[in-house]
Every structure is written in C-alpha cells, then in structure tokens.
C-alpha cells in the first residue's frame, strides 16, 4: 500500500508561527512530506502568505496600525505588511500547547519573534532550495479584491521558478482549478471540499483526480468509494493520533495536520511493522 502523505497544514503550525518560512522549515525537520500554505494578495497586488482575512490574530497589526481596524490584509500594501511581527503572537499564546509541553526550544522561541509575513516567492524559493514540496491553496479574497484574478500571477511565478513538479494547487474555488487545468494541464490540482460546513460535499462528478475533504464531513464509505474509482483522497485537518490511525486504516492517500510530528511517528511505526 502506498505511503500516506504527511501534509503540514500551514507548515508545522503547532511548533512555529503558521504560514511562515519558519513553519515550513519546521515541517520538513519533523518529517512532513510537504507543507501547505495559503495565498493572499496585498492592496498593491503582491502575493503573500496569510490565512485569515484580518491581520489581527497572527500579527501585531493592531499595535502598529491602531486606526485601521479590522486590519483586512487586502487593504494593506506589501511594504506595510512587511513591517509587522508575525511570530511573537505564537510565542505569547502557545496556540497548540507545544511550548508548555517543552517541544519548542528556547532558541526557536527567540527566533520566532520578529518573523515576517513571507511573500509567495520567498516561500517557493525556500521550498525549491530545500528540495521540498508545497501545496499552494488559493483562497477567496476579501474586499476590495474579490474579483482579483489570482491564478495567472501564481502560475507565472511557478513557471518563472521552474517548480511545476514541486507544487500542488488546491482551492475551494473549483473554477480556478479548471482554469489551471486549461492553462497548464501538467500541473497537479486538488479539489478542496467540505466548506462551508452546511454545504454538501461537492464531488464535481468526480472530475478531479484528488479531493481534499473535511475530516468532520467525510464518511469512511466515501473513502472506499473514491479509492475504488482510482481517485485520491486527502483529509483535513487531522490532529489526534486515534483519528490519524482511523483514516490511515480507511485508505486515505494523505492527511493534513497541525501536528506533522505526530503523524510522522505513526507512519514510521507502521513502516517498521511492515518491514518486520
């Protein structure tokens, strides 16, 4: 049976500030097969990494720009975003309890303070330099960039860096995926499904080869159905060890996780049992 892919959600975000080069570096260090990032666009149309619409949760935007609430990233220029600290919040909040558990070193905590929001170029260059792989998620953009054509600049950057074999494009916007398929058929795309939570899982008549589905919405019977069709199914976001083992046993091809270190240990254990 092929090895289940260990996909670090926004990097190893339990061990480092999410959507940063530090998180990507940590993901590779702890054994993830690839990392996942979220593409955002600044007011001057630069591609960066960011998840939330607001900069407030994972940067010090509120302190630096107190009069610009709600601090939507699409209303800030790249130069402004680059002044922000995107790492200290992680040190101060310990969002996954791994600092308290002693799994993040003091040297790492010091290095995270002052971490910057990376550009997509920087993230891809890190991936290329370290012979790694990355899942590039194209997210819906907030006002005033709802209609911004994000696919062309992302594809142009991947092409410029010669990274077609190192990159996967994923999105809940399946029209964007069809656009990628049309413009660059050789590039791997993966269909994200399961959001919003009140929306049925959309399989698109099984058009795509790979589906990335919500762990809370996916039934084991659906996994068997997809695998019987020769399709691949990755599941997000799986953090508990028992849940990881359940999905692995069901035949998934990959797991997105905030704890790639946990999944790496399970997969290593499974490999040792198979070899034995």
Rounded-to-integer distance, Cα 219 and Cα 63, Å: 44
β-pairing, 47-49 vs 34-41, is: antiparallel
- What are 150-209's pLDDT values in tens digits? 999 999 999 999 999 999 999 999 999 999 999 999 999 999 999 877 777 888 889 999
Q: Which of 269, 273, 272, 258 is nearest to 26 (CA)?
A: 258
β-pair partners for 137: 38, 170
Record the pTM.
0.95
Q: Which domains are assigned to the chain?
A: 5-52+118-275 (3.20.20.190)
> Per-residue pLDDT averaged across 222-228, rounded?
94
The pair of three-digit structure tokens given for residue 261, joined into one six-digit string: 């270190």
- The pLDDT of residue 123 is 98
Q: C-alpha distances in angstroms, 196 versus 124, 178, 192, 214?
A: 29, 20, 11, 10
Q: C-alpha distances in angstroms, 168 versus 130, 190, 213?
A: 16, 7, 16
């Amino acid at each position: 049976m092929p090895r289940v892919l260990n996909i670090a959600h926004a990097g190893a975000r339990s061990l480092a500030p999410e959507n940063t080069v530090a998180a990507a570096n940590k993901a590779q260090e702890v054994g993830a097969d690839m990392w996942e990032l979220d593409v955002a666009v600044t007011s001057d149309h630069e591609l960066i990494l960011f998840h939330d619409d607001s900069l407030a949760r994972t940067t010090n935007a509120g302190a630096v720009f107190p009069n610009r609430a709600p601090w939507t990233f699409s209303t800030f220029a790249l130069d402004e975003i680059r002044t922000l600290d995107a790492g200290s919040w992680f040190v101060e909040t310990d969002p996954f309890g791994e600092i308290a558990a002693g799994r993040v070193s003091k040297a790492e905590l010091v290095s995270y303070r002052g971490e910057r929001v990376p550009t997509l170029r920087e993230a891809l260059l890190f991936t290329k330099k370290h012979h790694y792989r990355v899942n590039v998620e194209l997210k819906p953009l907030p006002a005033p960039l709802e209609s911004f054509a994000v696919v062309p600049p992302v594809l142009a950057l991947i092409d410029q860096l010669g990274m077609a074999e190192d990159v996967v494009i994923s999105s809940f916007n399946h029209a964007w995926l069809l656009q990628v398929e049309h413009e660059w058929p050789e590039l791997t795309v993966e269909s994200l499904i399961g959001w919003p939570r009140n929306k049925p899982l959309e399989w698109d008549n099984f058009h795509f080869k790979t589906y990335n589905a919500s762990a809370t919405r996916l039934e084991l019977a659906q996994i068997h159905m997809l695998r019987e069709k020769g399709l691949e199914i990755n599941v997000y976001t799986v953090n508990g060890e028992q849940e990881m083992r359940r999905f692995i046993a069901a035949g998934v091809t990959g797991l997105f996780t905030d704890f790639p270190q946990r999944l790496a240990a399970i997969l290593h254990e499974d490999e040792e049992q198979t070899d034995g």
